Chain A
Amino acid sequence: AQSVTQLDSQVPVFEEAPVELRCNYSSSVSVYLFWYVQYPNQGLQLLLKYLSGSTLVKGINGFEAEFNKSQTSFHLRKPSVHISDTAEYFCVVAPQGGGNKLTFGTGTQLKVEL
């Protein structure tokens, strides 16, 4: 079984400031890692994913995440946020060989202020 912990339920940040959203996971098997974003009144969409290879992955809208196997973490970062980044961000894992059974974290609400 897998579990995902998002350490911050809300993260307020000023526009153009950097941000890091933290994610730790637990699994007895190897996993694929994802970050999904849910904008207000919109559906979930993929930001980025880590399948294998380079531990630093880049996604859409200037976001990137780093996979750290020893710390079982997959933190999401952006060097300079914009008002339009205000949304809820979900860290997600899927077991390798386990199909599309996604386990979601509880979400982090990112609120970008002027």
Chain B
Amino acid sequence: KAGVTQTPRYLIKTRGQQVTLSCSPISGHRSVSWYQQTPGQGLQFLFEYFSETQRNKGNFPGRFSGRQFSNSRSEMNVSTLELGDSALYLCASSPRVGGTDTQYFGPGTRLTVL
């Protein structure tokens, strides 16, 4: 099976712009979660989607949003980018939403905000 894929792998934006990141889960996985990884804050949970519905949300401002499509692919959007949004954004997929399944992580999208 192909692993979790994320596109693009690298992205450079300027402050005030918006960005959309994409995640394709492992085939058959219906839960997709997003995480932000920075040197200062570490890995932080953004949100989780299952069957096109947001099931969990972390403590991020409303500028961070996401959605999931009927084929389980997910996108996250960050509007009005700030310098502090520079980070590695990781997507993870699992078959279910129960919390006991292994999360399979993608390679990440490295976002740099100038």
Contacts and interface: CB of A to CB of B under 8 A. Distances in A.
Which secondary structure characterizes the binding site on chain B?
strand
A103 interface: yes
A8 to B, nearest CB: 15
B99 A98 contact: yes
Given A90-B43, A107-B42, A100 B105 contact: no
A102 B45 contact: yes
Interface string B79-100: 0000000000010101001111
Contacts, number: 70
Given A90-B43, A102-B33, A106-B42, A97 B105 contact: no
Interface residues of A, number: 24
7 contacts: A32-B100, A36-B105, A42-B107, A44-B92, A99-B56, A100-B97, A102-B35
Interface of A: 32, 36, 42-46, 49, 51, 90, 94-107
